[in-house]
Structure 1
Amino acid sequence: MRPDPAFGLLELYDDALPHVYGYLLARVRDVPLAEDLTAETFLAAVSALRKQPAPELSVGWLIGVARHKLADHWRRAEREQRGLRLVDSDQQDTVDPWDEEVDVMVAHEVLCQLGPHHQAALTLRYLDGLGVPQVAEHLGRTVHATEALLVRARNAFRRTYRGEEGAP
């Protein structure tokens, strides 16, 4: 009988847990949610390790799994909100709000006030540093739809940050 390949995760767990949890907590700013997503990440890792061929186990790979779980969470939250209200029809501005200096603490608070779809797009693009095609892949959207989402998300962030009318 061959040993379960997921047992390798036990050896890495103590080292990986603070990294995975820290990654998630920094993005969601909600302890219970970060804990839930961390648990989901490790459960998904066990499932992935039992498939053939098993991925190479590392902290970086676990962070990638966490990124997918976070994107899944935001997609679920977006679907829930979409069912409760009409889609916001933002007007597009030509000024890039990312050319300004922002206060990091205020920026995190503003990000938490945005809808999940905007949080997901901005976090993946600007905090994780992913390109638009990678953001689109994580969110299950086309590149063009993701570009439009990023424009709306940046506009919503800017309005909320500045305290303007019509902010989410």
Structure 2
Amino acid sequence: MSDRRTELLELLDRFGAGLYALLTRLTLREEVAEELMQELFLKLHGAKDQGRIECWYAYARRTAINLAFDWRRRQKIRRACSLDALSERASETDGPLGRLIASEELEQVLAALGRLHGASREAFVMRYLQQHSYEEIAEQLGKTVHQTRALCFRAMSTLRDVLGCVSLPAGGKEVQHVLDE
């Protein structure tokens, strides 16, 4: 077995479960995640300029994210769900209606996330889907913690604009109002 193939098998052995979980979260379908894992392995095996790749895990994660959003684009799943309907929550969130609404909201967020590109999308996925710390993201992306926070903030702002969310006052900071008694 070649050194390159052994290296890839070790990479997938070590990080495969995490990459699979990421693909499952982004596609919302386990069978699609399995297919994309196979495609990921083929892409990694056939990667051009293999000598220039410094961190294979970062390259694999970025490739997995791109594969998932490419799949989402190809599917063209567009559910007719108005933004007004999203703002009205069902009173019973544990029931079938609540799960359906949550699923539709997640589909819309993932579709909007697909409109982000490059480091913004990668930082957002790592922070909010994989729940990595800013320090871990900064290390993986080769950026400072401050730059990583800014990427996540800009990505969140873009998503809010795309989804039509009401922007927060005071430059994005939440303000609590205290009632006088």
TM-score, scaled relative to structure 1: 0.51
Q: Say yes or no: does 1:131 pair with 2:121.
A: no
Deviations 1:118-167 (A, max 9, x none): 3243595443576265x59xxxxxx96x5531x33x58xxxxxxxxxxxx
Are the aligned partners of 2:27 and 2:33 in contact in 1 as well (CA < 8 Å)? yes
Deviation of 1:33 after TM superposition, in Å, equals 1.2
Structure 1 residues 26 and 116: CA distance shift in structure 2, 3 A: closer
Q: Which has the higher contact order (CA 8 A, sep 6+)?
A: 1
2:24 maps to 25
For structure 2, list consecutive stretches of 5 or more residues without a partner in the other structure.
Answer: 115-120, 132-150, 167-181
Identity %: 24
For 1:112, the aligned partner's letter is S
Deviation of 1:35 after TM superposition, in Å, equals 0.7
Deviation of 1:107 after TM superposition, in Å, equals 8.3
For 2:33, the aligned partner's letter is A
2:71 maps to 73
Deviation of 1:27 after TM superposition, in Å, equals 3.6
Equivalent position to 1:113, from 97, 104, 109:
104
Are the aligned partners of 1:25 and 1:31 in contact in 2 as well (CA < 8 Å)? yes
1:41 maps to 40
Considering only CA atoms, is the larger Rg found in Structure 1 or Structure 2? 2
2:161 maps to 148
Are the aligned partners of 1:74 and 1:117 in contact in 2 as well (CA < 8 Å)? no
Deviation of 1:22 after TM superposition, in Å, equals 1.7
For 1:9, the aligned partner's letter is L
Are the aligned partners of 1:25 and 1:34 in contact in 2 as well (CA < 8 Å)? yes
For 1:69 and 1:19, the matched residues in 2 are separated by: 15
For 1:57 and 1:36, the matched residues in 2 are separated by: 24
Give the 3-state SS of the residue equivalent to 1:131 in structure 2: helix
Structure 1 residues 73 and 115: CA distance shift in structure 2, 3 A: farther
Deviations 1:16-67 (A, max 9, x none): 221211222234332101111222222222232x325431343343222211
TM-score, scaled relative to structure 2: 0.48
Are the aligned partners of 1:9 and 1:57 in contact in 2 as well (CA < 8 Å)? no
Q: How many residues align?
A: 128
Give the 3-state SS of the residue equivalent to 1:15 in structure 2: helix
